[in-house]
Structure 1
């Protein structure tokens, strides 16, 4: 309906958000960019709610910005005009009611809700041409900057609160708190292995506290666990005396045609990263090194751990 100008409005908010980061939080952003979930519109999904005006007379047109990998600033409309939505309205407060509409059949965590915007007050802007929209909305820029400053400050405090907690706190349910690129809980559930779960919990707990060296080393151990389980599943015995480093495990998996050549090369890269982290070789273990291991773990389970995997 108003798609283009709604997306333009979000882009303006995003520009002000990143301006705040550049002015006040540049160092924090460099250390942990994932804490600032509105910095990249590629990972933002827009939910526009049309609510019943009898229950929401002044704010019936509302939008939530949600962190979603590859959301691409795309819009999904939810029409909640029908009275059937409001049978139990008295049981909800306004915000939880709206979030429930969005979270239905979605796996969003509370932290994935970045912020919301009442669009009712912007309707006259949304109906304009793009050129007129940008001319009219420019007078709001200072106010938008102040709003985004408050949001960035809140996210920075939230991340600081998490980073000050002990690793043991995160390890109880690491994927709930991890500022990671992929949703790891389905992977952990699919593997369903106590050792692997513990390894991933510890690795992500370290990652969340910017301890990338131990995180990288532990992710390497978790990847080795996956490779051994894959060999065992294909009736290949893994003895305690066998070499269980990633490069050797990768060779065995490739020799038995369990994995393809391309994935073998990925394991070789992971082996080098893991080896560097485990033996504190020269060079800095970067956050991106953890991402390589996490994405490889995600892919090996998604590709080779079938539904009948035990």
Structure 2
């Protein structure tokens, strides 16, 4: 009964969430669906976390919606009642801080993965005693619906405001503060600071701005330019002259770096793949395929910077 009733709570939250997004935030969602993580239940996992009774009966059961790829609302109960877990409890500011830390230590999820939390303790008796049909009737009255609606309205509003602030920033904002965004792939500021080149910084600035606005084709093309610039900078860093008349195509630069024994065969192969990905990007499927291409090029840039510029 308990699990079925919890899943009913989850279904209600997601249903109301979708209603709000579809009605009030449709343009924002169509432009940047990644900002509205609860909209796609296939990437949500449900945790019910049981805490020590010593915290009080009003905090004993916590419901967590966590962003985890391809989990399809998979349900799991986590027992955090062991007294030994609470030996350092006084150092945490809130119960949520305590849960985030202990779940991370156990290898379940990190703080940024949490989409939403809800205290189940206030309806613990109903969860345990009512049949699923009785429970649906219990929580579908006007009072409960209003509570669910207001909670989801606050959540979607927070995501919507983050989206508006995000798209209204100038492009230069993203490269400088990319780590603030859950969409960020890597610590781009650290990459830019390590390379310390004006042209590279500007190009990365443009690439991540395009990515953040879901312009993956533009981002993929610009990231290819970033990688070309980085290869030229690496040649110069190793004492090689790069003339304007020299071939500056990505595949030729990778080959030259390999011939000079600056990079190994594996990295040269990755650069060659990036060259092909960038050139073929306009012929591939849109959306997730191009997004994955961007990820691959950024990961290659990160590997070069981490190996040769830090």
Per-residue deviation, 1:26:
1.6
CA distance in 1, matches of 2:222, 2:150: 41
CA distance in 1, matches of 2:46, 2:235: 43
Structure number having the greater helix percentage: 2
1:251-299 residue CA offsets vs partner (Å, 9 max, x unmatched): 88999964899996774242243xx6xxxxxx9x966575143232266
The reply on whether 1:18 has 2:22 as its aligned counterpart is no
Following superposition of structure 1 onto structure 2, how do residues 126-275 of structure 1 map, counting pairs within 5 Å? Answer: 126-127=127-128, 132-133=131-132, 136-137=135-136, 139-141=138-140, 142-143=145-146, 144-179=148-183, 183-185=185-187, 193-194=195-196, 199-200=203-204, 202-209=206-213, 215-224=219-228, 239-240=242-243, 241-246=245-250, 258=266, 267-273=275-281
Per-residue deviation, 1:210:
5.4
The reply on whether 1:295 has 2:295 as its aligned counterpart is yes
Task: Note if contact 2:274-2:297 (Cα within 8 Å) is conserved in structure 1.
Answer: no
CA distance in 2, matches of 1:71, 1:231: 45
* Structure 1 residues 178 and 65: CA distance shift in structure 2, 3 A: closer
Per-residue deviation, 1:249:
5.9
Per-residue deviation, 1:216:
3.9
Which is higher, the Rg of structure 1 or of structure 2? 2
* Structure 1 residues 165 and 264: CA distance shift in structure 2, 3 A: closer
* Structure 1 residues 89 and 257: CA distance shift in structure 2, 3 A: closer
Per-residue deviation, 1:174:
0.8
SS at match of 2:53: coil
Unaligned runs of 5+ in 2: none
* Structure 1 residues 265 and 156: CA distance shift in structure 2, 3 A: same
Task: Note if contact 1:247-1:267 (Cα within 8 Å) is conserved in structure 2.
Answer: yes
Count of aligned pairs: 294
RMSD: 4.7
Following superposition of structure 1 onto structure 2, how do residues 90-109 of structure 1 map, counting pairs within 5 Å? Answer: 92-104=93-105, 108=110
TM-score, normalising length from structure 1? 0.68
SS at match of 2:50: strand
